[in-house]
Structure 1
Amino acid sequence: MKICAITMVYRDYWALAQWYRHYGKYLGPENLYVISHGVDPEIAKICPQASIINIPRDDLKGFDRVRARLINDIQSGLNNVYDWVIQTDADELVCLNPNTYGSFQEMFENTKAPALFALGLNLAEVYGDSALMPDDNVLAHRNVACVTGNYSKAWAVRKALPLRWHGVFCGRGQTDVFPYEMPDDVFFVHLKHANSDALKETNEVRQSVADSVGEDWGVNGWSNSELHAQRFFRKLAQAQELPWEQAVALGYEVIRENPVRDPTRGIVKPPFNNYVCRTILPDWFRTV
């Protein structure tokens, strides 16, 4: 079975290094594809064995829509030569419980679905956490997370199915029957809030982009990015804390059992429940 992973990035160096380390470990770095939004020699330094695709960064008006079409078109092309294509942002890691799955291949062999979702975990740096060194594996140093529907995203396809709005575009006539498969022991970990130093840099870049483009940018969370981060940590502190097994069970009940099937858009996606509960990750995450 041939599996690859693809992402698109602009300057998010710390997260990209985590992405490259994680997926390179499981898939081999030669099966990683990075779309660099603008020519950036640093990307090749971080991902020396990945395939780097440079695209122009000269017009950002409405770029979020352009970005979605672009990465889905490249994903579709890769589906011609790979059995499965994993598509995530650079700050998103799909983690398999090693007690259940020995590899992505083993996990994929256990499904007949055309696309997969995973239970979302918004990982956080909290008071008392030490600063991360550049080469640290974030999963070995952070263990507080919020179970979230917003990041229970579609992340892998075996056919040329576009990923949109955190879900799958399957066509307006298919939303009632399209399989919403979220396997046990597969988790979608969002890293944005797990490194305060990197978060500060990322917020500055995003705010700068939003300010330079104005209303034509329109990406949620980029304008007033610092306020969005503050709200996340406030909501995290207020969320009910549950032991891991209870948190996962609640997450599956709230998120897996309640997919959003939108026939108007032709989308199947997770529900927007951003703060289901807070939990502590089990030790096995430290080894993935």
Structure 2
Amino acid sequence: MQTAAALTMVRDDVFFLKAWLRHYGGLFGRENCYVVNHGRGADVAELARGCNIIGIPGDAHKNFDMKRWRMLNNMVMGLRCYYHHVIVGDVDELVVLDPASGTDLLSFLQGVPANRVLTPLGLEVIHRIDLEPEPVTQAILGPRRHVRPAPHYSKPCVVSVGTKVSRGGHFTRYERLHAPEHLYLLHLKFCDLTAYSTAMNRRNAVAASTGTGVRDAAVGRHWFSEARGDDRAVFQAFQRLKQREAFDMAPLRARMHRSWRPRGQTGYWEFDRPDSDAQYVLPDRFIGLI
């Protein structure tokens, strides 16, 4: 059994795919990376060369997200036959290990028992356009240092047990919460204003091609132009988040454990996911990590 595989699905998001490939390809080797190429994009196929590329049709569908997660669930369960751990998620989500742990992600996973689900703490990398004029060309952490807590992205995404992951990857049918101290999920959607606008233009076009509206589609509201708002205003709002001095995430993990419970009668498990008005500066040890 190999230690770990990484799995994602992507449609033309080359900015985020480059980061995903640098991160997981560097840690696990491209031979252990699985990229579902939605629409069989030539740019995706070229960038992901050396990975396991699965090309699928790119037909627009109002239930795109439901279909996507049904397929990813089945792929995770299949890959578990050959890997102790499978990391699954969107292409703009990267699981990282705090260098303060003294090891890297692969070495860490080699010491984690199988038959469990790990839930990294979610942090959203935000572009402070008033403080960070430098564009992102290669590494993201360095030009970008600010993060905000993102409980919706504290996802149970490191899977080594037979379970089902919900649409969006937010919940699993695994009744214990394992949230290791140094493990994070960095959400990159807001890491760069230009990349954000480019991605949103593309996603709005995909949503429009379904021929349906926000209320009738099993796709996030943010895919639709009517729910988008002004891009620059979204980023300017980050300036109003309260600056916290100490990078201490222990209280956030403690809150996850305190509120851990069944998600109604669905079979899934959850914790409270309150919005946060705080932001933090990542310590220097994170620079260049992704």
**TM-score > 0.5, shorter chain as reference:** yes
SS in 1 for 2:223: coil
Q: Larger deviation: 263-272 or 15-24?
A: 263-272
The verdict on how the C-alpha distance between 1:44 and 1:185 changes in structure 2, with shifts beyond 3 A counting, is: same
Instruction: State the shift of 1:260 in Å.
Output: 4.7
2:33 and 2:193 map into 1 onto residues whose CA distance is 27
Does the aligned pair in 2 maintain the 1:9–1:37 contact within 8 Å? yes
CA deviation map 1:193-214 (0-9, x unaligned): 0011111111111111222222
Q: Say which SS state the counterpart of residue 100 (structure 2) adopts.
A: coil
Aligned to 2:131: 128
After TM superposition, give the deviation of residue 101 of structure 1 in Å.
4.5
- Counterpart-to-counterpart distance in 2, 1:97 and 1:130: 26
Asked if the contact 2:134–2:143 (Cα under 8 Å) also holds between the matched residues in 1, the reply is no
Q: Is the 8 A contact 2:116 2:159 kept in 1?
A: yes
Report the equivalent of 1:86: 87
Secondary structure of the residue aligned to 1:139 is coil
Q: State how far apart, in whole Å, the 2-side matches of 1:155 and 1:244 are.
A: 27
Q: Does the aligned pair in 1 maintain the 2:193–2:235 contact within 8 Å?
A: no
The equivalent of 2:159 in structure 1 is 157
Q: Does 1:192 align with 2:195?
A: no
Is 1:183 equivalent to 2:180 in the alignment?
A: yes
Matches within 5 A, 1:61-72: 61-72=62-73
Which residue of the other structure, out of 198, 204, 207, is the alignment partner of 2:204? 207
Partner of 1:141: 143
Q: Is the contact between residue 117 and residue 157 of structure 2 (CA under 8 Å) also seen in structure 1?
A: yes
Structure 1 runs (4+) greater than 4 angstroms displaced = 228-232
**1:78: how far off?**
0.6
Shift of the 237–166 alpha-carbon distance from structure 1 to 2, 3 Å rule, reads farther
Change (3 A) 1:21 1:40: same
Asked if 2 retains the 8 angstrom alpha-carbon contact of 1:113 and 1:181, the reply is: no
1:48, distance to aligned residue in structure 2 (A): 1.6
Farther-moved stretch of structure 1 (57-66 vs 261-270):
261-270
Q: Once the 2 structures are TM-superposed, how far is the Cα of residue 42 of structure 1 from its aligned partner?
A: 0.6
Query: What's the CA shift for 1:261?
Result: 2.3
Question: Aligned residue for 1:26?
Answer: 27
| Percent identity of equivalent pairs | 25
**1:259 corresponds to 2:256:** no
Provide structure 2 residue ranges, at least 5 long, that are not aligned to the other structure.
none
**Cα distance, 1:133 vs structure 2:** 4.6
Matched, 1:51 2:52: yes
- Preserved contact between residue 92 and residue 190 of structure 1 (Cα < 8 Å): yes
CA contact (8 A) 1:94 1:187 kept: yes
Distance 1:276 1:72, change over 3 A: farther
State the distance in 1 between where 2:183 and 2:126 align.
19
- Please say if residues 96 and 183 of structure 2, whose CA atoms lie closer than 8 Å, have aligned partners that are also in contact: yes
- State the shift of 1:168 in Å: 3.6
User: How many Å separate the matches in 1 of 2:52 and 2:121?
Assistant: 29
User: How far did residue 99 of structure 1 move?
Assistant: 2.6
The answer to whether the 8 A contact 2:121-2:184 is kept is yes
AA of the residue aligned to 1:217: A
Q: Residue type of the partner of 1:63?
A: F
SS in 2 for 1:61: coil
Alignment RMSD, CA only?
A: 2.2
Confirm or deny: 8 A CA contact 1:39 1:55 kept in the other structure. yes
| 1:182–1:48 CA distance, 2 compared to 1 (3 A) | same
Contact kept, 8 Å, 2:79 with 2:86, in 1: the verdict is yes
* Structure 1 equivalent of residue 103 of structure 2: 102
User: How far apart, in 1, do the equivalents of 2:233 and 2:89 lie?
Assistant: 24
Deviations 1:138-179 (CA, angstroms, capped at 9, x unpaired)? 112211110111111111111232221443432xxxx6xx11
1:56-81 deviation digits (Å, cap 9, x = unpaired): 11241211111110111111111111
Contact 1:125 1:195 in 2 (8 A): yes
> Displacement, 1:228?
8.0
| 2:152–2:170 Cα contact (<8 Å) kept | no
Query: Secondary structure of 1:2's partner?
Result: strand
Q: Which amino acid aligns with 1:241?
A: Q
> Is 1:193–1:229's contact at 8 Å kept on the other side of the alignment?
no
Asked whether the equivalents of residues 24 and 32 of structure 1 are also in contact (C-alpha less than 8 Å), the reply is yes
- TM-score (structure 2 length as normaliser): 0.88
Of residues 142-151 and 236-245 in structure 1, the stretch that sits farther from structure 2 once superposed is 236-245
Residues 210, 192 of structure 1: alpha-carbon distance in 2 compared, 3 angstrom cutoff: same
